[in-house]
Amino acid sequence: MVLLTGAPAWSAVPAALQDVRRHMLDSDVNALTFHEMDQIFDVRRVPAGSATWRLPRANAPMDFTYQFDGKTYPAEAVLDRTYTNALLIIKHGAIVTEIYRNKTSANSHFISFSMAKSITSILIGLAIADHHIHSIDDPITRYIPELKGTGYDGVTIRQALRMRSGVDYDERYDFSHPSLAAAMFEDSLVENKIRFAAFAKIVNRAYPPGEHFNYSTLETAVLGWVLERATGQSISAYMDERLWNPAGMESYGFWIMDGAPGIGREFNGAGFNAVLRDYGRLGLMMLQDGRAGNRQVVPAAWVQESTSARNTTPVEPGSPLGYQYQWWTIAGTDAYTAIGLQGQFIFVDPDTDTVVVKLSYFPPGNLDAVRESLAFLRAACGWNGR
């Protein structure tokens, strides 16, 4: 266990609830827990506005196939083969496929996991447009002076957006294995004793800033901290004002909090929850260069810069994925995607005018399900939707 200066050594979270949180990723319960997070955590809502962005429909059977590991499968096979709770396909601005499974419905609020990183990127772009943040080349310590003398001293917002801070942090999800990530999960999210982003105060530097890609939820938590300081608002309040309401979302969203009301902060690296169609609206807004219906919500220049594959390289040799500003890019294409732990995707393909949202319950560590889902997502984009 890691305790920061001034952190209490006890937790007010009941032991039974702590145990549910420790096991929420487990394959025997995650088909349920992944759409019931407000029963497991304290949350903060982002309310919907009065005007909803209406999405037209052009329903069509999924009469296409996809290939994976040398075999061809009918599209519907992906539902069981890759542990799907919900699926949405939008073609040319219209919903052509909408599927709910495992007692979910259009009213179910699904966990985003790391798709929340891409939402954080959108909010950073809005804060720049609002002149709350001067530049993404500003040092993080301009907004969080408490990080002077830490691994984040000298790191810019741009470097954190690209997961290139150089901070010494190992992203892992086997929380029974002793590690800093396990301690952060336990102390912050399970027991609510410490704010998640506060761990940035104790990390050291492993590489010079800007040189080395290292995927890190702590990185996004620091960006959330920058947002709070720059805007003078909670992430939920700013998101309501500048994104959720203006984009015409149909339902409230909510953030998992890392502490009790009045104490906790939004777990912005992985803790957003929304209904399926609102994730679709986020993807469609990005596809339309920041426009939600007839309203320009996010600057088009930020959408293009934050998702561009031109300045990205594979995250590792041979990988089909690159990384820009908290969005994954697809090698050799203009497509990009938000990806969340255990099978959450908002896949955006400008070339085919398609958005696909897939919300899943992969068993922990199932990389084949990731690869097969990506194969399906690419095939869904190539389908004519008729």
- Bridge partners (DSSP) of residue 255 are 44, 272
Taking 70 as the threshold, does the pLDDT of residue 9 lie above it?
no
For the cut 80, the answer to whether the pLDDT of residue 4 exceeds it is no
- 204-254 confidence digits (pLDDT tens): 999 999 999 999 999 999 999 999 999 999 999 999 999 999 999 999 999
**DSSP per-residue letters across 331-364:** TTSS-EEEEETTTEEEEEETTTTEEEEEEE-PPT
pLDDT of residue 178: 81
Residue 40, pLDDT score: 98
Q: Which helix (H) or strand (E) is 292 found in, with range?
A: strand 291-292
Residue 106 has pLDDT above 80, yes or no: yes
Going by pLDDT thresholds of 50, 70 and 90, the confidence category of residue 312 is: confident
| 272-274/321-323 β-pairing | unpaired
Check residue 1 and give its pLDDT: 43
Q: What is the pLDDT of residues 246-275, one digit of tens each?
A: 999 999 999 999 999 999 999 999 999 999
**CATH 3.40.50.2300 corresponds to the domain 16-115+234-255+262-382:** no
The sheet that has 328-330: what strands, in order across it? 94-100, 84-91, 354-360, 344-349, 336-340, 328-330, 321-323
Residue whose structure tokens are 């969203």: 253
Quick check: 2 pLDDT over 70? no
| Topology at the third CATH level for domain 133-231 | Methane Monooxygenase Hydroxylase; Chain G, domain 1 (1.20.58)
pLDDT at residue 6 tops 70: no
User: How far is residue 222's CA from residue 227's CA, in Å, rounded to a whole number?
Assistant: 9
Q: Which pTM does this prediction carry?
A: 0.96
Domain boundaries, the chain: 16-115+234-255+262-382, 133-231
- Residue 8 predicted with pLDDT over 60: no
* Span 15-34, average pLDDT: 97
Query: How large is the greatest C-alpha to C-alpha distance in the chain, in angstroms?
Result: 60
Share of the chain above pLDDT 90, in %: 90
- What is the C-alpha radius of gyration for the chain, rounded to an integer number of angstroms? 20
Contacts of 19 (CB under 8 A, 6+ apart): none
Average pLDDT over all residues of the chain: 95
Contact 79, 101 (CB under 8 A): yes
Model pLDDT, residue 230: 98
Q: What is the pLDDT of residue 309?
A: 83
pLDDT, tens digit (0-9, with 9 covering 90-100), for 320-371: 899 999 999 998 899 999 999 999 999 999 999 999 999 999 999 999 999 9
- What integer pLDDT is reported at residue 317 of this predicted model? 86
